[in-house]
Structure 1
Amino acid sequence: MHFEHLVQINDPLNPLLTPLSAQQVWQALLWRAEKPQDFQDDVSEVKIHERGDDYMVRSFRLGNLHVRDNIEWDEGRTIHFHTQPNDEHYGGILTIAIETPDEAQLFVRFTYNTPLADTVAAGSDDASDAYFSSYVKSAYHEADIDTVRRIRELAAQGSLGH
Structure 2
Amino acid sequence: MNFEHLIQINDPENPLVDTLSRDQLWQGLLQRVENPIPFLPGLESSSILERHGNTLLRELDFGPATIQDRVTITPGTAVRFDILPSEAHAGGSLTITIEEPEPDFLFLRFAYETTLAIDPNSEDRAYIDYVKSAYHQSDVDCVRLIRMFAAGVTLQ
The verdict on a shared fold, with TM-score over 0.5 as the criterion, is: yes
Q: Give the residue type in structure 1 aligned to 2:6.
A: L
**1:53 Cα deviation (Å)?**
2.4
Q: Matched residues in 2 for 1:28 and 1:14: separation? A: 22
62-71 or 17-26, larger mean C-alpha shift: 62-71
Per the alignment, residue 96 of structure 1 pairs with 96
Per the alignment, residue 30 of structure 2 pairs with 30
**1:41 Cα deviation (Å)?**
4.0
Aligned residue for 1:10, secondary structure, equals: coil
Give a deviation string over 1:13-64, Cα, whole Å, max 9, x none. Answer: 2111111011111111111011111223421221100112211110112242
**Count of matched residue positions in the alignment of Structure 1 and Structure 2:** 154
Question: Is 2:144 aligned against 1:149?
Answer: yes
**1:119 Cα deviation (Å)?**
4.3
Q: Matched residues in 1 for 2:153 and 2:42: separation? A: 25
Per the alignment, residue 13 of structure 1 pairs with 13
Q: Matched residues in 2 for 1:37 and 1:158: separation? A: 15
Give a deviation string over 1:61-85, Cα, whole Å, max 9, x none. Answer: 2242212001111100011101011
Q: Matched residues in 2 for 1:137 and 1:62: separation? A: 21
* CA RMSD in angstroms, aligned pairs only: 1.5
Q: Give the residue type in structure 2 aligned to 1:153.
A: M
Q: Give the residue type in structure 2 aligned to 1:74.
A: T
Aligned residue for 1:101, secondary structure, equals: strand
Larger of the two Rg values belongs to structure? 1
Per the alignment, residue 131 of structure 2 pairs with 136
8 Å Cα contact 1:11-1:17 kept in structure 2:
yes
Q: Give the residue type in structure 2 aligned to 1:21.
A: S
8 Å Cα contact 1:119-1:133 kept in structure 2:
no
Question: Is 2:66 aligned against 1:71?
Answer: no
Q: Give the residue type in structure 1 aligned to 2:52.
A: G
- TM-score with structure 2 length normalisation? 0.92
- TM-score with structure 1 length normalisation? 0.89
**1:133 Cα deviation (Å)?**
1.2
Aligned residue for 2:115, secondary structure, equals: coil
Q: Give the residue type in structure 2 aligned to 1:130.
A: R
Aligned residue for 1:43, secondary structure, equals: coil
Per the alignment, residue 42 of structure 2 pairs with 42
8 Å Cα contact 1:28-1:151 kept in structure 2:
yes
